[in-house]
Amino acid sequence: MEIDPRPVDAYAAMRGRALMVVIVYWARYRVGEVRRSDEHDAHRGLSPADFQACTTLVRLADAVDPAVGPPVNPAVSG
Q: Among residues of the chain, what percentage have pLDDT more than 70?
A: 83
Would 72 be classed as within a structural domain? yes
Once rounded to an integer, what is the mean pLDDT over residues 21-35? 84
Would 70 be classed as within a structural domain? yes
In this predicted structure, the answer to whether residue 21 has a pLDDT above a threshold of 60 is: yes
Domain that holds residue 58: 2-32+43-77
Number of domains comprising the chain = 1
Closest CA to 5 of 78, 73, 60: 73
Interacting residues of 75 by C-beta distance below 8 A, sequence separation 6+: none
Would 69 be classed as within a structural domain? yes
* pTM score: 0.62
What span, in angstroms and rounded, lies between the C-alpha atoms of 77 and 75?
A: 6
Once rounded to an integer, what is the mean pLDDT over residues 55-78? 69
What span, in angstroms and rounded, lies between the C-alpha atoms of 72 and 76?
A: 8
Would 38 be classed as within a structural domain? no
Once rounded to an integer, what is the mean pLDDT over residues 43-70? 82
Task: List residues bridging with 13 in a β-sheet.
Answer: 20
